[in-house]
Each structure stands twice: as C-alpha cells, then as structure tokens.
Amino acid sequence: MRSRGALLCDDFFAVYVPGNNVLQYPPELAKQLPAGSTLQFQIHYTPRGTETKDQTRLGLIYAKESPRHEVRVAAIAPPVLRIPAGAANHEIQAILPVPFSARLLSFMPHMHLRGKAYKYELEDPKGIRTTLLEVPRYDFNWQIQYRLAEPIEAPSGSRLHGTAWFDNSSENPANPDPSSNVKWGIQTDDEMALGYLEYYVPGVPAGAKVPSAASSMRRDGNLLFDSLDRNRDGVVTLDESPAPEMFRVADADGDGKVTREELRELTRRRRNR
C-alpha cells in the first residue's frame, strides 16, 4: 500500500503528492499553526497486494521572527466531474471568485492517472483573461508546485479559472480502464481536478481571519451565480454551467435560463436539507 492523493478541502497546512519535495518560505512569509492545534492527516492508500507499514512524518521549521504575511491555500474545483469512457481530450472547467484583493504565490494542479493538462487563468473585473500557468503535459508521478518569482496581484472582484484536460482513451498507457466512465474519487483509478494555489492578503496581519471564496460560494448563491455567469448577461445558460444536472434542478421554470433568484433558492434549499 502507498499514499497516493491530495486533500479534498479548500485549505490545508501541508500536502505531499508524488514529485513534491521540501517547502520553505522566505522570512516574511509563513503558515500559521495555532497553539493547541490537532493535526489531522488525510492519506489516500491504494492496495498493492502485500501488507506494509505507514512511515508518514512531518517536519517543521519555525519562523525566527513574526512574519509579515500568512500564507493561505485555496483550491479551484468543479462541482461535478464526469469523464466519458474513451474520451481522449475531455475538458473540465472550474471557477473560483476572488472576494478580496490577494497576491498569488504558487500553483499546484492535482489530477490522477487520466490527467493530461491543466491551465490557470486570471479574469480581471473587466473580463480580461490572463494565463498564469499552463502545464501542457501533466504527469501524476511528478506533481510539482510552481512557485512564482514575484507575487501576482488578483484584485477583488476578479475570478480564477482552472481548466483540466483528461485522456480516458486506450492511447493513455497509464489509464487503468478506458472503458469506464470516471467520476470524482480518492482512489488513483478515480479522478480529481483540483487547482491548488497559495496566496496572501496584503494589509491583513498573520492570524487574522479572511473569508474563504470556496466556502462563500457554498453558502451564498450570489457569489456562485457571479462565478457562473461568464458573459455577465444576468442569467446562466447550460453552456455556462459545469454541472448539467445542477442546472436542470436550478432552472425551476424550465426556460433554459437560471436567474440569480433561482440559484439563490436552490442554494437555500440545499443548505436547509
């Protein structure tokens, strides 16, 4: 058995995936580990036919002085992931709104054996997109964290786009089963489409609370609506929705368009279930 995978949340203290190495921040940056914290490890094991022992360890380097900025983590993730059997270049898109001005520090895309390519883009409040990172040949065995030489500004009201491509065909030598329709899951023969990124919020001291864009989207239909309405015409159409099943449920009057009110009502119902 061996650990293969990544955390499923929109924040984590540390992560290891194949190809990763030691991570050390410059003096003005650090992650916070509050006093009295309990470290919870989420490890994905894949059986290999023989019994073995886990040897997981975590090494820490403590900051000698109080850092100016706290490093935080977010993840761009689609609400639904389904890859058809035999699809050689299946595309999955996801969006993460930026509810406050932030400075981006690094990127780490995470997929499994069918992962083919990944691209990060920043869409500013005027709708202009800029490519931040493009990984044209993703390799599950070498999931590198790409650290920026200088932070990139992500202004409040902008949106981060993550686009993943998957090869579920027989031409992919790593594909465990080209005949299967693949869904999200923690096992290596399932799939994920996570665009992890590190950032800090300028002007906010280390340890201070900031809103989470991902958790805000789960709670607030307005933020979710804004992230889906790509052409900003006031409605969400099927081609803008990453989840056709969710779209059909949200489209209460069946007119082929989801309004802000319809999505807000769907969010309210799901939250109160």
Tell me if 205 is assigned to some domain. Answer: no
Residues 30 and 143 in one domain: yes
Percent of the chain topping pLDDT 70: 86
Tell me the two tokens of residue 64: 């000698």
Top pLDDT among 227 and 240 is at 240
- Statement to judge: residues 184 and 250 lie in one domain: no
pLDDT at 219 over 50: no
The pLDDT tens digits of the residues spanning 107-119 come to 999 999 999 999 9
Whether 215 maps to a domain, the answer reads no
pLDDT number for residue 265: 82
Question: 247 and 160, same structural domain?
Answer: no
Rounded mean pLDDT of 56-85? 88
Is the model more confident about 37 or about 22? 37
Tokens of 107: 């990127």
* Number of structural domains in the chain: 2
- Asked whether residue 195 is domain-assigned, the answer is yes
What CATH number does residue 235 fall under? Answer: 1.10.238.10
Tell whether 61 and 177 lie within a shared domain.
Answer: yes
pLDDT given at position 244: 65
In a domain, 14, yes or no: yes
**Domain final residue pick, 170, 200, 230:** 200
State whether 82 and 15 are in the same domain: yes
Whether 130 and 229 map to the same domain: the answer is no
Q: Which residue has the higher pLDDT, 220 or 89?
A: 89
What pLDDT score was predicted for residue 83? 96
Among 54-63, 76-85, 171-180, 226-235, the least confident range: 226-235
User: What residues make up the domain containing 143?
Assistant: 2-200
Is residue 131 domain-shared with residue 186, that is, in the same domain? yes
Average pLDDT of every residue of the chain? 84
Q: Comparing 125 with 268, which gets the higher pLDDT?
A: 125
Residues 119 and 251 occupy one common structural domain: no
Judge whether residue 3 has pLDDT over 50.
no
**Final residue of a domain: which of 142, 170, 200?**
200
Q: Among 7-11, 123-127, 205-209, 251-255, whose mean pLDDT is lowest?
A: 7-11
Q: Would you say residue 101 has pLDDT above 70? A: yes
Residue 34 lies in a domain: yes
Kindly state whether residues 59 and 167 are assigned to the same domain: yes
Q: Is residue 22 part of a domain?
A: yes
Q: What is the mean pLDDT of residues 52-74?
A: 87
Q: Which residue has the higher pLDDT, 11 or 128?
A: 128
Whether 113 and 4 have beta carbons less than 8 Å apart is answered as no
The domain boundary residue, chosen from 200, 232, 249:
200
Amino acid at 165: W
Report pLDDT for 76. Answer: 92
Q: 182 and 71 in one domain?
A: yes
Q: What pLDDT is attached to residue 9?
A: 44
Does residue 57 share a domain with residue 164?
A: yes
Between 213 and 203, where is the model more confident?
Answer: 203
Q: How far apart are CA 215 and CA 245, in angstroms?
A: 21
pLDDT for 78 beyond 80: yes
Does 207 fall in a domain? no
Are 196 and 224 members of one domain? no
Residue 161 lies in a domain: yes
Q: What is the pLDDT of residue 222?
A: 64
Q: Residue 11 — very low, low, confident or very high, per pLDDT cuts 50/70/90?
A: low
